[in-house]
């Protein structure tokens, strides 16, 4: 049986499975799914808990023997096995297949790992675990899923997001679930419970490097060259990693290029903004940039971003901060030959 992480609660209502195999690219969701299983097992009386991690030289025979022996106090038990690489090896695969064929009594086996490729998902041991119990796949969130995830997480912490709050967090944190979860935890500590407004969030984030990076992006979209240069100097002096700045600028460049192509094909700017789910507060910024930048100019931004990435990785020569300045200022609409910080 295979389910998504958000389907676990309904699965628990039908009783605990003897085997759970949790994996996925988004490690936060993997860990939270595992925690849900731990809590459900504890509530069902599985009080003895063992944790093991598969590393070089792991004793698979010893692991198998431990699954077959009774708990020291004859209690129900939860055995956790972490597979950091997602590959148990030949010896481990045989043991997992044997355990799956006849799961030990009064035991829940929880196996967890990261992202698995298709070949691994199709192996005999992975299929055996699926047949013996429940496979939980923690898929990365798609853009359209971010607002609901953020709202639910804030509400679970006792926070009621005011107008625009969810959209702001989705924009700032998309692509980094862990960072978003950490920010929400900070908001919970800072604000307690109750409604949280847009100004509260913006003020609380104002000293956050990630927020300042997005302020750079917004200034670029507004065409404010002087503000762009000032923010870049500040980010560099604060020791912000250039990879974070490039990530934000490149993401915006990709979005602009895709939208500029749609505009060039004859679609109205406002329709493109709606189609691409640009949130209300940013529509004026992105709309102005689309009117200012042609499809060709947007493609040039992507080329600049690619060159900056090569410099950052040491595959090309140049000053990465100078290239970031060129990229950000080009987004403002300036036509530049050289840039200097």
Residue 219's CB is within 10 A of a number of other CB atoms, namely 22
Fold classified for 209-332 = Zinc Finger, Delta Prime; domain 3 (1.20.272)
Structure confidence by residue, pLDDT tens digits, 21-72: 999 988 889 999 999 999 999 999 998 888 999 988 899 999 998 888 765 5
H or E stretch at 282? none
pLDDT at position 143, please?
75
pLDDT over 50 (residue 341): no
pLDDT over 90 (residue 272): no
Q: What is the mean pLDDT of the chain?
A: 86
Which is more confident, 218 or 171?
Answer: 218
The segment(s) of the chain belonging to CATH 1.20.272.10 are 209-332
Backbone angles phi, psi at 167, to 5 degrees: -65, -40
Question: Does domain 2-137 fall into CATH 1.10.3720.10?
Answer: no
Class of the CATH-defined domain 143-205:
mainly alpha
Range picked from 61-70, 150-159, 205-214 for highest mean pLDDT: 150-159
Average confidence (pLDDT) over 68-84: 80
Strands (E), the chain: 2-4, 19-23, 46-53, 76-83, 107-113, 134-137, 159-161, 194-196
Owner of token pair 């960072």: 179
Which is more confident, 277 or 188?
Answer: 188
pLDDT at position 17, please?
93
Q: Please, what is the Cα angle at 296 between 295 and 298, to 5 degrees? A: 65
Backbone angles phi, psi at 71, to 5 degrees: -60, 155
The segment(s) of the chain belonging to CATH 1.10.8.60 are 143-205
pLDDT at position 25, please?
86
pLDDT at position 74, please?
55
């Amino acid at each position: 049986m295979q389910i998504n992480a958000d389907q676990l609660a309904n699965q628990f209502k039908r009783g605990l499975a003897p085997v759970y195999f949790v994996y996925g690219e988004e490690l936060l969701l993997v860990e939270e799914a595992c925690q849900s299983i731990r809590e459900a097992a504890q509530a069902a009386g599985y009080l003895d808990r063992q944790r093991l991690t598969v590393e070089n030289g792991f004793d698979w025979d010893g692991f198998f023997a431990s699954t077959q022996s009774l708990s020291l106090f004859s209690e129900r038990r939860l055995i956790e096995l972490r597979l950091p690489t997602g590959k148990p090896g030949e010896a481990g695969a045989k043991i997992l297949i044997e355990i799956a064929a006849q799961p030990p009594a009064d035991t829940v086996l929880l196996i967890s790992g990261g992202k698995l490729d298709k070949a691994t998902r199709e192996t005999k041991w992975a299929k055996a675990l699926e047949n013996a119990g429940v496979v939980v796949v923690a898929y990365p969130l798609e853009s359209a899923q971010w607002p609901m995830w953020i709202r639910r997480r804030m509400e679970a912490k006792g926070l009621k997001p005011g107008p625009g709050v969810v959209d702001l967090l989705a924009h700032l944190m998309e692509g980094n679930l862990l960072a978003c979860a950490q920010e929400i935890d900070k908001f919970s500590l800072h604000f307690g419970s109750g409604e949280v407004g847009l100004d509260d969030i913006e003020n609380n984030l104002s000293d956050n490097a990630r927020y300042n990076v997005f302020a750079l992006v917004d200034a670029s979209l507004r065409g404010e060259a002087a503000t762009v240069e000032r923010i870049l100097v500040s980010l560099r002096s604060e020791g912000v990693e250039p990879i974070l700045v490039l990530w934000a600028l490149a993401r915006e460049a990709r979005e602009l290029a895709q939208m500029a192509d749609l505009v060039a094909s004859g679609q109205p700017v406002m329709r493109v903004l709606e189609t691409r789910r640009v949130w209300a507060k940013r529509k004026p910024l992105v709309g102005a940039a689309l009117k200012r930048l042609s499809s060709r100019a947007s493609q040039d931004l992507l080329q600049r971003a690619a060159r900056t990435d090569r410099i950052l990785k040491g595959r090309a020569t140049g000053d990465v901060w100078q290239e970031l300045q060129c990229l950000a200022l080009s987004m403002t609409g300036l036509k530049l030959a050289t840039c200097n910080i």
